[in-house]
Copies of this chain bind each other. A is one copy, B any other.
Amino acid sequence: MSIRRPTNGPEKAVADWWRTDIIDMTPGEIGYYGYPIEDLIGNVSFTQMIWLMTQGSLPSPEKAKLLDAALMSAVDHGPQAPSIAIARMAATCGVGLNNAMASAVNVLGDVHGGAGEQAMALYQMIDDIVQNDGVDVVVATQKGLEKQRELFGKFIPGFGHRFHPVDPRAPRLMAVVEGAKTDGEVEGRFLAIAQQVELQLEQEKGQKIPMNIDGATAVIYAELGVAPELARGLFCLSRSVGILAHAWEQTQQGGRNKGPIPRDLLWTYDGPAKRSVPDSD
């Protein structure tokens, strides 16, 4: 039978099962949120396309620049990161780059990939307190931090770093947001909240617990109105670049079945000493 878009009859339910707002297609035509692909090609950047696909509208070049900054800054944190190590190990096991990327992006879960999403949720909780309780950012941040610790424990997502005394990405990203605020591109509400969180953490501890990459990209995504859950998805896109780069470098380096440590080192075994299998009867 010929290609068709069912509009009634028993096949309509089948077509509706896969309904979407994102893409329309008929033979010879492809449109994303109504924009013909041939009009988009050459006129919008990859980053603008990422926005269109996930938000449904075309961003201004200035907004796209903010998204650019968030996406380009989180691509890689070295082969000690599980996502990167997995990509490199996978690349030596006889699978394609698509598979290496999949095994790696898969682990960007609540711990490895969730801090940005959690920082956004914190900022939004504080912003909600400002909006609803008629208090200023200082008080709202006090209340917000208190509630955050009540719900999730003492760890404040987006601040402090195991490795970097100051995460070099965060102040630079904040400068970019400041610029966008000056230009009237964003309101700066979440920037102010994040800076207030950083300040109060310092006052509490008597030393700076500086904003990290997750806290900084969370400011950008919040200023841009991205949903926290989607922000994790965008982080996955970003980190996919580093994952691909390392999988590809490892492919070129060669190696077979790369394990985590050199082959001649054995792990520590802590289990029972050698013993006999009991007779099964």
Contacts and interface: CB of A to CB of B under 8 A. Distances in A.
Interface stretch (A39-47, A125-133, A142-150, A199-207): A39-47
Contact of A261 (B61, B168, B260): B260
A41 B106 contact: no
A169 B96 contact: no
Contact of A248 (B162, B230, B259, B266): B230
A135 interface: no
Residue with the highest number of chain B CB atoms closer than 10 Å, among A12, A20, A56, A280: A20
Contact of A260 (B10, B171, B249, B260): B260
A68 B110 CA distance: 31
A114 B98 CA distance: 10
A238 B9 CA distance: 36
Contact of A18 (B256, B263, B268): B268
A67 B241 CA distance: 14
A53 B248 CA distance: 10
A36 B274 contact: yes
B3 A263 contact: yes
Interface string A4-28: 1110011111111111111111111
A141 interface: no
Given A34-B275, A175-B42, A107 B89 contact: yes
A156 interface: no
A138 interface: no
Contacts of A211: none
B265 A4 contact: yes
A277 B109 contact: no
B109 A106 contact: no
Given A25-B78, A41-B69, A107-B95, A260 B85 contact: yes
Given A89-B107, A103-B106, 11 more contacts: A4-B266, A17-B267, A20-B246, A22-B246, A36-B274, A45-B65, A61-B280, A82-B92, A82-B258, A100-B107, A163-B263
